[in-house]
């Protein structure tokens, strides 16, 4: 009892010492979205899809406690049966920030692995579609329920570390890697928790380096799965100078006891998957006109293999993939992007690559 009284007293004392919130409206809204047109080569016609519509809802409770969320409707609508849509919470967390540079988050968070899982607003990346590396290697948008600590020991060095739900073994697959294993914070099992983290470093202005990881068991208490687990190691680099932007990402995924997962679920999961992409973009507009708008010409080369090493069966060449994307990104204003590109998908089989034309418009506002 005495202990409780002490706690309450301290709480009141501290609450009184905290400065009052000076903000006028502590609740803010924002969002992003993208309309896509995809036309595979040789097809009779393309497909128009309002792929993502996301609403941000944020609230500041006081100077150090806030809430942030992103709610997404994919493919415009959700109905029973065959509707392609998906309604989901992409992020929803409470942030406690007792110090200017350090704090805690709890809720549905984004494992901070790679670049695009964290920064996925359409005006922040080139190409109508997110890189396939971010679908089949890093399963963007990857979100899980969890709790974590983040901070910035210096202005140029930051870190994040979270304990989050791990993958469910039944969802791991030969072609899409970890993607189907995401639990998305929905009644997630805590039989296996994963640990994920990231370090960001900016050695000079314009250059950002990142290293990130995830590691967690996936056996979910099933003895037949042994020590099944997933480890992801990733590195990324972004550099911008003048009108030139460069970025690259690479990741290596190891699945422990993949043979046991395959014995139970027959899903041909590999022991190892890996991939990388490199991208260059150049803003040509300053050479054509005096304008604050931007028009980037870009090219991206991706290689990824979701069956890089397998045990007990033959790896399939169709999963050893190479994608080339070339296109344009026009930013008439910083937060609106009009995009157009051509993609060539190829794999290790002796077949001709498949081409696809894409166009899209995307926005973000805060």
Q: Rule CB under 8 A: which of 280-299 touch other proteins? A: 283, 292, 294
φ and ψ of 4, to 5 deg: -60, -40
Touching other proteins, residues 240-279 (CB under 8 A): 240-241, 247
Of the candidate spans 10-18, 135-143, 186-194, 302-310, the one that interacts with other proteins by CB under 8 A turns out to be: 10-18
Would you tell me how many other CB atoms lie within 10 Å of the CB of residue 166? 29
Residues 6+ apart with CB under 8 A from 238: 115, 207, 208, 245, 246, 247
Which lies closer to other proteins via its Cβ, residue 23 or residue 190? 23
- Which residues make Cβ contacts (< 8 Å) with residue 100, sequence separation at least 6? none
Q: Which of residues 140-199 bind other proteins (CB under 8 A)?
A: 150, 152, 155-156, 158
Assign residue 304 a region: left if phi > 0, alpha if psi is -120 to 50, beta otherwise?
beta
Q: Is residue 89 a contact residue for other proteins (CB under 8 A)? A: no
Q: Is 31 in the site for other proteins (CB under 8 A)?
A: no
Region label for 222, one of left (φ > 0), alpha (ψ between -120 and 50) or beta (otherwise): beta
CB of 256 within 8 A of CB of 250? no
Select from 50, 96, 88 the least CA-distant residue to 69.
Answer: 88
Does position 19 interact with other proteins (CB under 8 A)? The reply is yes
> Least distance to other proteins from the beta carbon of 98, Å?
3
DSSP letter at 319? G
CB of 23 to other proteins, least distance (A): 6
Per CB under 8 A, 204 contacts other proteins: yes
* Residue 83 engages other proteins in binding (rule: CB under 8 A): no
DSSP 8-state assignment for residue 106: E
| Distance between CA atoms of residues 68 and 62, nearest Å | 13
- CA–CA gap between residue 195 and residue 166 (Å, rounded): 8
| Stretch of 73-81, 182-190, 212-220, 234-242 contacting other proteins, by CB under 8 A | 234-242
Task: Please state the φ and ψ torsions of residue 278, each to the nearest 5 degrees.
Answer: -130, 140
Please report how close the Cβ of residue 326 comes to other proteins at its closest, in angstroms. Answer: 22
Q: State which of residues 46, 58, 175, 322 lies at the interface with other proteins (CB under 8 A).
A: 58
For residues 118-137, which are near other proteins according to CB under 8 A? Answer: 118-119, 124
By CB under 8 A, residue 333 contacts other proteins: no
Contact status: 313 vs other proteins (CB under 8 A): no
- 97 touches other proteins by CB under 8 A: yes
In the chain, beta strands by DSSP E: 27-40, 47-60, 65-74, 86-96, 102-109, 144-154, 157-165, 193-201, 207-217, 229-241, 244-256, 272-283, 294-309, 320-333, 336-347, 354-365
Q: Which is nearer to other proteins, 3 or 221 (CB)?
A: 3
- Is the Cβ of residue 26 or residue 84 nearer to other proteins in the bound state? 26
Percentage helix, strand, coil for the chain under 3-state DSSP, each rounded to 5:
15, 50, 35
Task: Measure the CA–CA gap between 200 and 139, rounded to whole angstroms.
Answer: 20
Site membership for other proteins, residue 61 (CB under 8 A): no
Identified binder of other proteins from the candidate list 13, 20, 79, 288, rule CB under 8 A = 13
Q: Which two structure tokens, joined as six digits, stand for 303? A: 């290689």
- Closest to other proteins by CB, 8 vs 189, is 8
Where does this chain bind other proteins (CB under 8 A)? Answer: 3, 6-7, 10-11, 13-14, 17-19, 23, 28, 30, 56, 58, 60, 63-64, 66, 68, 95-101, 105, 115, 118-119, 124, 150, 152, 155-156, 158, 200, 202, 204-206, 208, 210, 238-241, 247, 283, 292, 294, 334, 366
């Amino acid at each position: 009892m005495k202990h409780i009284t002490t706690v309450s007293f301290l709480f009141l004392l501290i609450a009184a010492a905290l400065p009052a919130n000076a903000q006028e409206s502590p609740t803010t809204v924002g969002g992003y979205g993208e309309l896509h047109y995809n036309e595979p080569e040789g097809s009779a016609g393309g497909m128009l899809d309002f792929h993502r519509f996301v609403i941000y809802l944020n609230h500041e409770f006081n100077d150090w406690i806030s809430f942030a969320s992103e709610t997404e409707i994919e493919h415009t609508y959700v109905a029973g049966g065959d509707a392609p849509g998906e309604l989901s919470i992409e992020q929803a967390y409470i942030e406690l920030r007792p110090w200017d540079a350090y704090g805690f988050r709890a809720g549905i968070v984004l494992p901070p692995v790679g670049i695009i899982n964290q920064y996925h607003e359409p005006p922040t990346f080139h190409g109508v579609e997110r890189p396939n590396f971010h679908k089949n290697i890093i399963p963007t948008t990857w979100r899980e329920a969890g709790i974590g600590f983040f901070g910035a020991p210096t202005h140029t060095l930051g870190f994040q570390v979270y304990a989050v739900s791990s993958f469910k073994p039944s969802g791991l697959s030969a072609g899409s890697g970890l993607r189907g294993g995401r639990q998305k914070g929905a009644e997630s099992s805590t039989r296996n928790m994963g640990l994920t983290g990231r370090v960001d470093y900016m050695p000079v202005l314009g250059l950002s380096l990142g290293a990130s990881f995830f590691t967690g068991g996936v056996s979910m208490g099933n003895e037949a799965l042994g020590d099944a687990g997933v480890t992801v190691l990733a590195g990324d680099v972004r550099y911008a100078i003048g009108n030139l932007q460069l970025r690259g990402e690479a990741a290596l995924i190891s699945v422990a006891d993949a043979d046991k997962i395959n014995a139970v679920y027959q899903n041909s999961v590999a022991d190892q998957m890996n991939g990388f992409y490199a991208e260059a973009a150049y803003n040509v507009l300053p050479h054509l006109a005096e304008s604050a708008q931007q028009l980037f010409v870009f090219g991206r080369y991706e290689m990824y293999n979701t069956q890089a090493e397998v045990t007990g069966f033959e790896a399939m060449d169709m999963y050893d993939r190479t994608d080339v994307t070339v296109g344009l990104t026009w930013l008439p204003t910083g937060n609106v992007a009009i995009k157009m590109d051509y993609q060539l998908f190829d794999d290790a089989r002796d077949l001709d690559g498949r081409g696809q034309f894409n166009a899209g418009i995307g926005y973000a506002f805060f």
